[in-house]
Every structure is written in C-alpha cells, then in structure tokens.
Amino acid sequence: MRRVLGLIASAVIVGAAIAACRPTGDVGYVEIKTVPVAAATQTALYLDSIKLAPIRKGSAILRQGVGTRKLQADWMAGSLAQLCDIVVRKNRITTVTVSVLERPPRCQCRFSGTDAATAHACVS
Amino acid sequence: MMTSLPIVAGRFCARSACAALFALLLALPGSAAQAQRDSAAASPVEEFSQQLDAFQKSVPDLNRSIQESARTIDGMADVEKARAEIDKLRELVSTLLGAVSDNGPVSQLGVKALDHVRDKLRTLTQETRFKPEERQFLIDQWHKLQVETENATKELDDARAQFAGLLQTLQQNEDFIGELLEIRQAEKALEVIRSLTRDIRDASTQLNKLIGGIKPPGV
C-alpha cells in the first residue's frame, strides 16, 4: 500500500513538474550539425547557458522557444567561447553546422540574416 | 542528442515553480523512491515502448490532416489562402517533430531506456545469485531488448530526419511563394504551391510507412 501511494505521489509530482516546465508559447527548432561526424561530440556545446548532451552521429534537432539563442562551446580554462547567434522562429528549423576540430569551434550558418540585426546570426 | 529533463526544462521553466517541484521530487521520502526502484526493473523500457506506441497511434490522424490540407491547397486559386494553409501544415509537421526531436519526450525516453538496458546487462554479468544457465537466459533476454530498443531509436532518428526535411521544404517554399507575391507573380506562386503539395503527399506516405514500421521494444 505504501509502495502504491509512493508511486502515485511520484507520478503526480513528476507530472506536475513536466506540466510546469512545458514550453509555453511559440516554439521552433534548432538543427545542429557537427563536422567531422562522430559517434558523439567531445566538445561541450551550450545553447545560451544550457549545456547540451553530446551530439550523436553528427546531428541533433532541438525544440526551442522562439527567440535568439547564443551557441557557445567549452573553451580554455572553463570559459565559454561564443560561436554564433541562432534565431529561432515559430514552427521553423534553423540549421547550423559546427566545425568541432577548430579551436574554438566555428559556426557555419545554412542561412545568415540579411538585415543589420541578424547579419551575424543563423536564421531559418 | 539528449538533454536530461532538468536541462531540457531549464529554458522554458517558470523557474521558481520548476525548481520547487524538482526539489520536492528529489526530497521525496525513501518509500516513494524505493517503490520506484522496486516496481519494475524494465520500467524505462516499458515507458519508452508505451510512449512510442502512443506516438505511432497519433501519427495517422495527423498525417490524414496533412493529406487533407494538401488536397485543399491543390484546389485553391487564392494564393493567400493557400499560404495560410501551408502555415497550418507547418504547424502540424512541427507538432510531430516536437515529439521526436532530440529533446522531445519520446527520444528522451529512448535514451533512458537504452541506458537502463546497458546498466542491467553490466550488473547481470557480475551477478552471482543465479545459476549460470539462469543468468545466461536473463542476459539473452536483455540483449534481445537492447537490440529492439536500439532499432526503435534508430528508426526514430530516421523519422526525425524526415519530419525535419518536410518542415524545411515547407518553410523554403513558403518563403519563395512570399517573394513571388511581392513581385506579383501569383500564377507562378500557384505552380509552386501545386508542386509543393505533391512533395507533401509523397513525404506523408513515406512517413506513414516509416512510423508504422517502428516496432516498440518488448512487444
């Protein structure tokens, strides 16, 4: 009985946590491709301050809230190197390729912005 | 790529509420946590299997909507209305992609299930409670589950790539149509729209086959 109650309590709390943390509002996608393709990337990448799990087989598609994100990588002495900005738009995919052999890694946008505000950012 | 739940959640969370809930979850008394550990060794695999099954069941309906939308667009002569329909289509495809994206619920459970199977196999090889033949039987069963889970996650990877490709096709065509309208090339825009609906139908049929072919592990 205690076990069942424990399980129910856990399920309720996990459910509530997920519901509270579910992305609200508009979402889009970031496709990160890494070159060279490896089973999993060694370099840690961050979207804003959020560390991403290693990218498997050279590609990952991440659901993100709409807005501009900073793609960063672990760099010397534990500091983060900013690679590029990524503009996430509603129901669209923004693709960026990261060359992980370079130090620091380098971003190559599939499409870059054409106006002053997004000239150095990857757009969809 | 899989991020852990707190990482995935981090960006979107109403941070204080989220932190409080996770803190509460971590601080659960031993009984609940123990109950989770005891309840079923295969639970992450089952959970993945159930989520995958639910996802598979949701796909035909959404795919039907995609096909209907394509049919509607085909019969339209009003480019603006067709554009609005393409926008709706992007939303449908985006919903599907959301489920299988690397930080989406199905993929996350897949990684969790695989981790669990690998842990289980690691501990079973050092297990001394069972007779060698019993241990071998268990190892064989877990190996089978591992192969099935790996196959399912591989097929999910393919589905993710397909959804992403379709979304990219939609967004690029929509942009091109927008540009054509700016230079008053409505006829050409309609041609692009009709050709796009053919691509959508093909992709949708392919997706149906792909998703329908995924076998949830342990089933």
Which residues from chain A sit within 8 angstroms of residue B87, using beta carbons? 91
Cα dist from A74 to A16, A63, A80, whole Å:
33, 22, 5
Q: Range with the lowest mean pLDDT among A48-52, A80-84, B5-9, B139-143?
A: B5-9
What domain range includes position A94? 25-122
Cα dihedral across residues B94, A27, B8, B42: positive or negative: negative
What is the spatial distance between Cα A6 and Cα B196, in angstroms, rounded to a whole number? Answer: 52
Fold of B42-212: Four Helix Bundle (Hemerythrin (Met), subunit A) (1.20.120)
- Alpha-helical regions (H) of B75-104: 79-100
- Mean pLDDT, chain A, rounded, equals 82
Instruction: Please identify which residue in the block is written with the tokens 């997004």.
Output: A118
Residue B22: pLDDT above 80? no
pLDDT in tens, B73-103: 877 788 888 888 888 889 989 988 998 999 9
- Cβ <8 Å between A10 and B32: yes
User: Across-strand partners of A88?
Assistant: A67
Q: What is the pTM assigned to this prediction?
A: 0.73
User: Does B27 score more than 50 pLDDT?
Assistant: no
Q: pLDDT averaged over chain B?
A: 79
Which residues of chain A are within 8 Å of residue B5 when distances are taken between CB atoms? 17-18, 21
Whether A32 is covered by a domain: the verdict is yes
Task: Name the domain count of chain A.
Answer: 1
pLDDT at B13 over 70: no
In this complex, is the C-beta atom of A50 within 8 Å of any C-beta atom belonging to chain B?
yes
pLDDT surpassing 50 at residue A10: no
CB neighbour burial string for A79-96, b if at least 16 within 10 angstroms, e if fewer: ebbebbbbbbbebbbbbb
Chain B residues touching A13 at Cβ < 8 A: 21, 24-25, 28
Preferred mutation among B101, B111, B158 to probe A, highest tally of A CBs within 10 A: B101
B91 part of contact set with chain A, CB < 8 Å = yes
User: Is residue A4 one of the residues assigned to a domain?
Assistant: no
Mean pLDDT of A53-75: 93
Residues of A in contact with B96 (CB under 8 A): none
| Residue of chain B whose alpha carbon sits nearest to that of A54 | B1
- Map out the domains of chain B as residue ranges: 1-39, 42-212
Mean pLDDT along residues A66-89: 91
**What does the pLDDT read at residue B213?**
81
**CB contacts < 8 A (A, B):** 128
Q: Does B40 touch chain A if contact means CB atoms closer than 8 Å?
A: no
Report how far residue B100's alpha carbon sits from residue A87's, in angstroms, rounded to the nearest whole number.
Answer: 21
Cβ within 8 Å, pair B167-A4: no
Tell me the ipTM for this assembly. 0.73
Tokens of A81: 């190197």
Dist CA B55 CA B36 (whole Å): 24
d(CA A87, CA B107): 24
Q: Which residues contact residue B60 at a Cβ distance below 8 angstroms, ignoring those fewer than 6 apart?
A: B208
**CATH number, domain with residue A34:** 2.60.40
CA distance B218 to B131: 24
pLDDT for B184-212, tens place per residue? Answer: 888 888 888 888 888 888 888 888 788 88
Shortest distance between the Cα of A79 and any Cα of chain B, in A, equals 19
The per-residue pLDDT for A3 is 54
Task: Point out the residue among A22, A47, A56 whose CB comes nearest to the CB of B12.
Answer: A22
Q: What is the pLDDT of residue A1?
A: 54
Residue A17 is predicted with a pLDDT of 40
Tell whether B27 is within 8 A of chain A (Cβ): no
Answer yes or no: are the C-beta atoms of B149 and B156 closer than 8 Å.
no
CB B99 within 8 A of CB B55: yes
Instruction: Establish if A104 belongs to a structural domain.
Output: yes
* Element spanning A59, H or E: strand A59-65
Residue A34 burial (CB count, 10 A): 25
Please determine, for residue A77, whether its predicted confidence score (pLDDT) is greater than 80.
Answer: no
pLDDT digits (tens, 9 = 90+) for A43-53: 899 999 899 99
pLDDT in tens, A28-46: 999 999 999 988 888 899 9
Q: What is the pLDDT of residue B72?
A: 85
DSSP A74-109: E-GGGPEEEEEEEEE-TT-EEEEEEETTSSS-EEEE
Asked whether residue B38 carries a pLDDT value surpassing 70, the answer given is: no
Q: Does residue A59 carry a pLDDT above 60?
A: yes
Yes or no: say if B129 and B83 are a contact pair by the CB < 8 Å rule.
no
Cβ <8 Å between A2 and B97: no
